[in-house]
Structure formats: structure tokens, C-alpha cells
Amino acid sequence: MPERIASQRAIQELLSKQKLYEGLLHSQHGVRQPIVESLVHRQHVAEVANLLAGMPSQAIGSLLEVLPIDEAQSLWTCLPDARENEVLWELSDALRATLVGGREPRFAESRINAFLLVDGRLRQVPIGGRQDLEGIKPAWLDLLAAARPERRYIGEHFGVSLPDPGQTTDLEISSRFQIDDKGSLRLRTSFLLYRDGKSRSIPVVFVVHQGILFTVHNEDLPVFRLQGQRAGSQVGYASDCLDLILDLYGADVEYSADVLESIYKRLGEVGRQVLSEKMSDEDAANVLAGIAEAEDLNGRIRGNILDTQRALFFLIRSRLLGRSQREDAKEILRDIDSLNSHTAFLFDKINFLMDATVGFININQNKQVSQLTVLSVVIMPLNIVAGIGGMSEFSMMTAGIPWPTAYAGLAAGMALLGCATYLMLKNLKTGRKPKAG
């Protein structure tokens, strides 16, 4: 906040200096006066643009509201084109008309869709600007990646507060599932997103106010696309916003079940590799990485469906659901119970495959240690013989024998001793193997 106030004061000082410099330059006459004015103007624009780059759109809008009209117009010309739309959301209608005429702010990077309930079927209406919201009463309004001013305007238009799902981090169940003092139902749950082999839990905020379902999320979810297509193609798919919530939760459970099937397939491939006769350390490392990914995905699915289960229990206890809706909620809860048993089985299978892979790693290490042991046993008597060959007594014992012949005989004896020791160890190892039958 202090930095924002300092930036606003600095911009106001720059605008005042610019007005003073322009007055001084206009009072002077010369051949180079236009060049000087152009250079001063460019420097002024660069300095203001540098300060605006670090200011949020809300602060820029507040500054434009308090500046005189001429200074506000001068500041608006310094604003980059890419930020004009987000700042327009922060301006009053009168100031916006003065600065840009009849230009309306647009929902730029967000995707906002309204679904109208017509003859038992949902009809999708894309929302591109504020005028598209006038005169409609949607059953479902889906806000994808909506910025704060966009959420604020839509909330003010319908008389409801729409929070940012990415900043709603309360862990208490009582704060995530509640009915506020205005009678609005508020739910915050996580939906599974599995894409390109990676999984994430995406927070979604549900708000039911005056018969309208508002869903706010910052990333595109396949469950929401699927529900939009189903609701638009099937007559009687949903009668009110609570049906839509139950359908979204049911679709999320189905999506989690589909992802669980992919885990079964992946673990089947890993199991065939683990249960093979041989596995190198590199293969074991790849298997462990695959098992870790499957365990992470399985845990994310379990946490996601448990979160859905809590939300459904809250809806049932709140007595907002009708009889048929309660039956639908209980059916989804039964599906969740079956998925819980599958996730528990997958955890057991993952632990088994993990233990088997670690066992293969231990076997490979034991083989390496065994090879080193054999090598050390073979070399040990050779070291003794080599030590004897290096003693002065060996020269005395081989007196009269040419030294090349003596040392050649010593090397041949060491080779025969090494071969004999190796064959003895090999026979001992073969003799320990159990006989078949």
C-alpha cells in the first residue's frame, strides 16, 4: 500500500511538471522548438509508463478518478494498449465516456458462459461484454479465469459476492461449505484435472443465489465442458441449479473413475516388468518413477472424491435438496464408496510392486557384492605368493637359476593357484544349489 501511494504521488508530480514544461516551451519560439517539445514529451511518456507498469489496475483506476480531466486524458495516453481493457473495468461510466467515448470493457482473456433454461434444456449464451448480461436470467453462469474487476461487476449485477477460488484457502469444512446471511449457498471443492500424464486439483467455488448457479474456476476443466454439452443436448437434464451441482459432482466422480482405469493399466504394465526374471538397476529406477507417479495420482483422486463426499453430505444435511435430488446425491455417494475401495486396492498393489522392485535392487546389489567377494578370495593367496616372491629368501632359494626362469615359474604358479581357487569356489557354489525333485 505505501508503494502504491508513492507511485500515485510520483505520477501526479510528473503530470504537473509536464504541464509546466509545456507552458514554458509554448512561450518560447525558435526553429528547434518542435524537436525539443517532442523529446520532452517522449521522456515524459517513458517515465509515466515505467511507473504505471508496476501499478495494479485498481490503483490506476483510482488515480484516474481523482485527477483533473486534462491530466486524466494525458495519463490515459501513456497507458499501454494491453492494459486499457483491465483499467476500463475500474472506471466510472462518466469518466469512461470522457476518456474512450462509447467503448465498453470486454471480458478479455476469460471465458464466461451463461446457460439459460429453455423448455427443459440448457441453452448456452457466450458473454463477451457487459451488454450481454442485460435482460437475462441464467440458470448457470460459468466464470473461467475471470479477473477481479470482472467478478466484481458480475457480482454487483446479480447482487452476490464472487471470490477468487485461487485465494480461498480456508481448510475448515465449516468455512468451505456454508450458507451465508443472504441465504446464498457457497461451496468450495476441488475437481480433478488430468492432462498429459500430470494431475492437479483445481479449486472451484459454487455460489447459488436467487436460483442462479455461479461457478468460478481459474482453469478449464473437462467436467464442465462435458456438462455443458450434455445439458444442451438432453431435454429435462436439469430443472434447477441444485440439479446442475449434483450433475457436476457426478461427472467428476465418473472422470475420477476413468482416471483410475488408466492407473490400473499403467500398474499392469509395471507389474509385468517387475515380475520378469531379470531387471537392471536402470529398469528398476524407471519402474520406481512410474510407481511414484501412480501413487501420487491415486492419492489425488482419493482426496478429490473425499472432498466431493463432504460437499454432498453437507447438501443432504442442509435440507436444500428435494426427494429425487437426495436420491441422486446418495447414488453419487455409493459410487464414491466403490471408488474408495478401488483406491485402497491400488495402494496395496503399489506397495507390493514397490517392495518387489526394491527386492530386485537388493538382489542385483547382492550379486555385485558376491562377485567382489569371489575376486578378493581369488586374489588373497596370490598376494601371499607375490609377497614371498619379493623376499630376499626367494633369491637365495633360486640361486643358480636364471632370474627370468625363476620369476616365470613363479608367475605360472600364481596363475595355476588363482585358477584352482576360482574352480574350488565355483564348485562350492554349484554344490549349494538345491537338487530338483
For residue 307, give the CATH number of its domain: 1.20.58
Residue 250 confidence (pLDDT) above 80: yes
Computed over every residue of the chain, the mean pLDDT equals 77
155 vs 72: which has the higher pLDDT: 155
> Is 436 part of a structural domain of the chain?
no
pLDDT of residue 386: 67
Which of 75-79, 107-111, 182-186, 371-375 is predicted most confidently? 182-186
Please report how the helices 241-274 and 323-389 are oriented relative to each other, as an axis angle in degrees rounded to 10. 20
Mean pLDDT of 407-416: 75
Q: Predicted confidence band at 55 (pLDDT cuts at 50, 70, 90)?
A: confident
| Residues paired with residue 215 on neighbouring β-strands, in sequence order | 142, 206
**Measuring CA to CA, how many Å separate 290 from each of 115, 273, 390?**
41, 11, 56
Same domain, 230 and 247: no
Query: Domain containing 131: what range?
Result: 106-236
Percent of the chain with pLDDT over 90: 10
Same domain, 298 and 283: yes
> Is 60 part of a structural domain of the chain?
yes
Same domain, 326 and 259: yes
Residue 228 confidence (pLDDT) above 60: yes
- The torsion region of residue 119 among left (phi > 0), alpha (psi -120 to 50) and beta comes to left
pLDDT of residue 223: 87
d(CA 138, CA 330): 27
d(CA 247, CA 231): 9
Given 236, 265, 281, which residue is the final one in a domain? 236
> Is 41 part of a structural domain of the chain?
yes
d(CA 83, CA 105): 11
Same domain, 386 and 286: no
CATH number for 71: 1.25.60
Mean pLDDT of 67-84: 77
Same domain, 45 and 120: no
> Is 437 part of a structural domain of the chain?
no
CATH number for 125: 3.30.460.20
Q: Predicted confidence band at 35 (pLDDT cuts at 50, 70, 90)?
A: low
Residue 173 confidence (pLDDT) above 50: no
Residue 135 confidence (pLDDT) above 70: yes
Mean pLDDT of 122-146: 84
Same domain, 228 and 247: no
Residue with cell 455417494: 333
Please report how the helices 57-66 and 93-100 are oriented relative to each other, as an axis angle in degrees rounded to 10. 90
Residue 437 confidence (pLDDT) above 50: no
Same domain, 232 and 258: no
Please report how the helices 81-88 and 93-100 are oriented relative to each other, as an axis angle in degrees rounded to 10. 150
Mean pLDDT of 418-424: 77
| C-beta separation of 305 from 336 below 8 A | yes
Same domain, 75 and 35: yes
> Is 16 part of a structural domain of the chain?
yes
d(CA 123, CA 60): 38
d(CA 175, CA 186): 9
Least confident of 52-66, 164-178, 180-194, 368-382: 164-178
Residue 219 confidence (pLDDT) above 80: yes
Q: Predicted confidence band at 406 (pLDDT cuts at 50, 70, 90)?
A: confident
371 vs 289: which has the higher pLDDT: 289
Note the pLDDT tens digit of each residue in 324-361.
Answer: 999 999 999 999 999 988 888 888 888 888 777 777 77
pLDDT of residue 94: 83
Count of domains forming the chain: 4
Given 75, 100, 125, which residue is the final one in a domain? 100
Given 100, 118, 150, which residue is the final one in a domain? 100
Mean pLDDT of 231-248: 78
The length of the chain in residues reads 437
Same domain, 232 and 112: yes
Residue 154 confidence (pLDDT) above 80: yes
pLDDT of residue 392: 58
271 is written with which cell numbers? 507389474
> Is 392 part of a structural domain of the chain?
yes
Helix/strand/coil (H, E, C) string of the chain?
Answer: CHHHHHHHHHHHHHHHHHHHHHHHHHHCCCCCHHHHHHHHHHHHHHHHHHHHHCCCHHHHHHHHHHCCHHHHHHHHHHCCHHHHHHHHCCCCHHHHHHHHCCCCCECCCCEEEEEEEECCEEEEEEECEHHHHCCCCCCEEEEECCCHHHHHHHHHHHCCCCCCCCCCCCCCHHHHEEECCCCCEEEEEEEEEEECCEEEEEEEEEEEECCEEEEEECCCCHHHHHHHHHHHHCCCCCCCHHHHHHHHHHHHHHHHHHHHHHHHHHHHHHHHHHCCCCCCHHHHHHHHHHHHHHHHHHHHHHHHHHHHHHHHHHHHHHCCCCHHHHHHHHHHHHHHHHHHHHHHHHHHHHHHHHHHHHHHHHHHHHHHHHHHHHHHHHHHHHHHHHHHHCCHHHHHHCCCCCHHHHHHHHHHHHHHHHHHHHHHHHHHHHHCCCCCC
d(CA 246, CA 240): 10
Same domain, 228 and 280: no
pLDDT of residue 335: 93
> Is 61 part of a structural domain of the chain?
yes
> Is 245 part of a structural domain of the chain?
yes
Same domain, 246 and 151: no
Residue with cell 495402494: 347
Same domain, 231 and 110: yes
Closest to 242 measured CA to CA, from 215, 211, 196 = 211
